[in-house]
Amino acid sequence: MSGIQFNSVSKLYQQGENQVLALDDVSLTVEQGEFIAVIGPSGSGKSTFLAIAGALLQSSKGEVILNGKSLNQLNPKDLARLRLEEIGFILQTSNLVPYLNVLEQLLVVKKMAGKVTKEDKENAKELLENLGLAVKLKKLPDQLSGGERQRTAIARAFINNPSIILADEPTASLDSKRAHEVVQLIARETKARNKAAIMVTHDERLLEYCDQVYRMEDGRLKLDQSFEMKTVSSRG
């Protein structure tokens, strides 16, 4: 199965003498072409969830299966490789490398995997054009607006053709017009390229672009039926 699957995943943190259950028996399947959102108050375990989905943390219990592969038994080196090949991260703004221009932000990802071919360069350009950055290819991050920066980050997430896209508060520092644009773009690219995408956010205005919305509370993940209804009706 492609996409990502959580099978009864739990995460325990040791904090001094207390144990904190950050994720409590989370099960979830996101198929290819599906864009889901995870919302919840801070401290609810959203970030832990994202870190485990992104192969940055390993679960204490349960299993995460990414594109048919279990993440449980991998060592840090394999995890880095997996992040490079299978996962596209869209992080909060200004997480671009400050001294690389827009095109190079994408090429550096290709560099991590080996050589940059002419084809890679063309792909990167096309991707950036798709996201409306055709005239900004040679700009450095500090010459871009917040929205442009985030669009660059989206392009960077897609450049390696990963199987899953993970977005961590992608609209955190954007005004609502830009925020809508950005989430719309993520949704559009996810559909067009047939990826599984998970967005962690607390911005409830943006949920209309998602196929399903899950709510996280005290480490437990629940499908939020009300949002599903809304999306269906808005579609219908």
Partner 1 sequence: MFLALKELKHGKLRFLMIGVITVLIAWLVFILSGLGNGLSTLSAATFKNMDAHYVTFEEGSRASMSRSLLNESLAAELEKANDVSAATGMGATMGTVLKESASADKEKVDVAILGITPGNFLEPDVIEGKPLEANEPLEVIANDTLKKKGFKFGDTLKIEGSLEKMKIVGFVENETYNHLPAIFTTLDKWRTIQFAAPGSDKGIKNPVNAIMMQGENIDSEKLNKFFKDTETVTKSTAVQGMPGYKEENGTIMMMLAFLLAISTFVLGVFFYVLTLQKSNQFGILKAIGASNRFLGKAIVAQVFLLSFVSIVVGILLTYGTALILPDGMPFSLDFKLVIIYSLLLLVISILSSVISVRKVTKIDPLQAIGRLE
Interface with partner 1 (CB under 8 A): 22, 42-48, 50-51, 54, 56-57, 77, 80-85, 87, 89, 91-92, 95, 97-100, 104, 107-109, 111-113, 140, 156-157, 160, 168
Q: Encoding tokens for residue 27? A: 């099960």
Q: Considering the complex, what minimum distance in angstroms separates the CB of residue 160 from partner 1?
A: 8
* Closer residue to partner 1 (CB): 110 or 211: 110
Min separation Cβ 234 and partner 1, Å: 31
Contact 225, 218 (CB under 8 A): no
DSSP assigned state of 115? P
Question: Which residue lies nearer to partner 1 by CB, 65 or 107?
Answer: 107
User: What does DSSP assign to residue 83?
Assistant: H
Of residues 87 and 206, the one with the C-beta less far from partner 1:
87
Residues sharing a CB contact under 8 Å with residue 118, sequence separation 6 or more, in sequence order? none
Closest separation between CB of residue 80 and partner 1, Å? 5
What is the Cα–Cα distance from 102 to 140, expressed in whole angstroms? 6
Shortest Cβ distance from residue 208 to partner 1 (Å)? 25
Q: Closest CB to partner 1 among 159 and 183? A: 159
Q: Which two tokens stand for residue 152?
A: 């660059």
Which ranges in 94-224 belong to alpha helices (H)? 102-113, 118-130, 146-158, 176-193
Euclidean distance between CA atoms 59 and 67, whole angstroms:
17
**How far apart are CB 141 and partner 1 at their closest, in Å?**
11
Cβ proximity of 207 and 167 under 8 Å: no
Nearest residue (CB) to partner 1, 50 versus 211: 50
Quote the tokens at residue 119.
Answer: 């084809």
